[in-house]
Amino acid sequence: MMTDPWDRFFAAVAEEIPEALQLRRQLHRAPCISGEEGPTRDLVLQALGSPEWDPVADTGGLVRIGPSDGPAIALRAELDALPILEETGAAFASTNGAMHACGHDVHIAAAVAVARAAQRVALPVALLLILQPREEAYPSGARDICESGLLEQHGVREVFGAHVHPRVPAGGIAIGEGAVNAAADEFGIAVRGIGGHAAYPHHARDPIVALAAVIGAMQMILNRRIDPMHPAVLSFGTIHAGSAANVIPSEARARGSMRTMHPRDRAFLHTEIPRVASEVAAAHGCSAEVEIISGEPVLYNHPEMSRSLMRALEGRAVRVVEPMRSCGADDFSYYTERLPGVMMFVGVARSEHEPALHTSAFLPGDEAVSDIAMAYAISVRTAFGIGVGAGSGAEAA
59 phi, psi to nearest 5 deg = -115, 15
- Residue 28 annotated as lining a ligand binding site: no
Q: What's at 97, amino acid-wise?
A: G
CA distance 190 to 296: 24
- Residue 163 annotated as lining a ligand binding site: yes
CA distance 141 to 144: 5
Structural contact between residues 130 and 108, judged by C-beta atoms closer than 8 angstroms: no
What is the largest distance, in Å, between two alpha-carbon atoms of the chain? 88
State the Cα angle at 151 between 148 and 157, rounded to 5°.
155
CA distance 328 to 257: 11
CA distance 44 to 388: 29
Q: Is the dihedral of CA 348, 354, 359, 365 positive or negative?
A: negative
Structural contact between residues 307 and 342, judged by C-beta atoms closer than 8 angstroms: no
Peptide bond into 139 cis (omega under 30): yes
- Residue 104 annotated as lining a ligand binding site: yes
CA distance 140 to 128: 19
CA distance 55 to 150: 10
| Cross-strand pairs, 72 | 126, 156
CA distance 315 to 101: 32
- Residue 358 annotated as lining a ligand binding site: yes
Start-to-end CA distance of the chain, whole Å, equals: 40
CA distance 17 to 106: 11
Structural contact between residues 38 and 58, judged by C-beta atoms closer than 8 angstroms: no
Task: Write out the binding residues.
Answer: 102, 104, 136, 163, 358
Task: Write out the binding residues for Mn(2+).
Answer: 102, 104, 136, 163, 358
